[in-house]
């Protein structure tokens, strides 16, 4: 049996420069470009219902699939966040949930973010800002509400003490949402090793970038944090 490295090298030698993958399992169709001129950064943008992914040629199979998964997840999350009304829609939902469960707690701002890494959300009690990962936008509504409520509750209690959890006790889908998030996180951990260096989810209205490092980036690109 050939060593894994030899098998991977042989596979890379016959991988096409352009690959089309049909839509499936909740994922849009993919158009994958592999370029030897692109030496470091992978990027993706949407075009006519297809996600166009640009990769450096010669990436190991596991790294390539992981990069594609990360880019697709972020791009579909960004679209879903926009479909939900963007930041304004998120702020409206936060106000409804705060009035219903948290006696009207109000953040200074609530925003979707593509820079959350593996976190679902964050709250900075000192300035009242809340950020919710775009990955959450594609989750069921009861899970989105729980993540938003969790961060809103930090405006009242900064830590995860019993007092904090008592604030969330009234939410009827709390345990179900927690179970969903735990399962989602476990599946992500099983499917991928730690995330790759920065990849780009790009403004779909921007023109294509030349496949050379050092060229000007597309306007509106959201670099992975």
Least confident range of 93-97, 151-155, 174-178, 215-219:
215-219
Q: Would you say residue 94 has pLDDT above 80? A: yes
Q: Would you say residue 45 has pLDDT above 50? A: yes
Give the chain's domains with CATH numbers: 4-82+204-223 (no CATH), 84-188 (3.30.2010.10)
Q: Using 50, 70 and 90 to split pLDDT, how confident is the model at 220?
A: very low
Mean pLDDT over 146-164 rounds to 96
**CA gap 137, 31 in Å, rounded:** 24
Mean pLDDT over 54-60 rounds to 90
Of these ranges, 38-52, 117-131, 193-207, the one predicted with the greatest mean pLDDT is: 117-131
Read off the pLDDT of residues 124-140 as tens digits, 9 standing for 90 and up: 999 999 999 999 998 99
Mean pLDDT over 87-107 rounds to 95
Q: What is the 3-state secondary structure (H, E, C) of the chain?
A: CCCHHHHHHHHHHHCCCEEEECCECCECEEEEEEECCCCCCCEEEEECCEEEEEEECCCCHHHHHHHHHHHHHHHHHHHHHHHCCHHHHHHHHHHHHHHHHCCCCCCCEEEEECCCCCCCEEEECCCCEEEEEHHHHHCCHHHHHHHHHHHHHCCCCCCCCHHHHHHHCCCCCHHHHHHHHHHHHHHHHHHCCCCCCCCEECCCCCCCCCCCCCCCCCCCCEECC
Percent of the chain's residues with pLDDT above 90: 46
Of these ranges, 2-6, 66-70, 178-182, the one predicted with the greatest mean pLDDT is: 178-182
pTM: 0.67
Q: Would you say residue 105 has pLDDT above 70? A: yes
Read off the pLDDT of residues 156-200 as tens digits, 9 standing for 90 and up: 999 999 999 999 999 999 999 999 999 988 876 665 544 544 455
Q: Using 50, 70 and 90 to split pLDDT, how confident is the model at 8?
A: low
Percent of the chain's residues with pLDDT above 70: 76
Q: Which residues contact 101 (CB under 8 A, 6 or more apart)?
A: 149, 167, 168, 170, 171
What is residue 5's predicted lDDT score, i.e. its pLDDT?
58
């Amino acid at each position: 049996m050939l060593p894994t490295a030899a098998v991977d090298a042989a596979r890379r030698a016959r991988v096409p420069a352009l690959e089309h993958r049909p839509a499936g399992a909740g994922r849009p169709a993919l158009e994958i470009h592999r370029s030897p001129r692109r030496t470091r950064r992978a990027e993706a943008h949407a075009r006519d219902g297809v996600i166009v992914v640009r990769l450096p040629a010669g990436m190991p199979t596991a790294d390539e699939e992981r990069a594609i998964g990360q880019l697709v997840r972020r791009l579909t999350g960004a679209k879903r966040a926009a479909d939900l009304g963007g930041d304004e829609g998120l702020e409206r939902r936060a106000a409804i949930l705060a009035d219903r469960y948290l006696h009207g707690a109000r953040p200074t701002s609530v925003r979707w973010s593509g820079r959350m890494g593996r976190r679902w959300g964050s709250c900075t009690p000192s300035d009242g800002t809340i950020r919710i990962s775009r990955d959450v936008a594609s989750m069921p509504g009861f899970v989105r509400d729980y993540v938003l409520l969790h961060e809103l509750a930090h405006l009242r209690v900064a830590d995860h003490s019993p007092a904090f959890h008592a604030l969330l006790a009234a939410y009827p889908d709390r345990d179900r949402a927690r179970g969903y998030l735990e399962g989602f996180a476990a599946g992500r951990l099983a499917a991928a090793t730690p995330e790759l260096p920065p990849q780009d989810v790009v403004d779909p209205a921007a023109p294509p970038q030349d496949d050379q490092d050092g060229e000007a980036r597309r306007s509106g690109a959201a670099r992975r944090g």
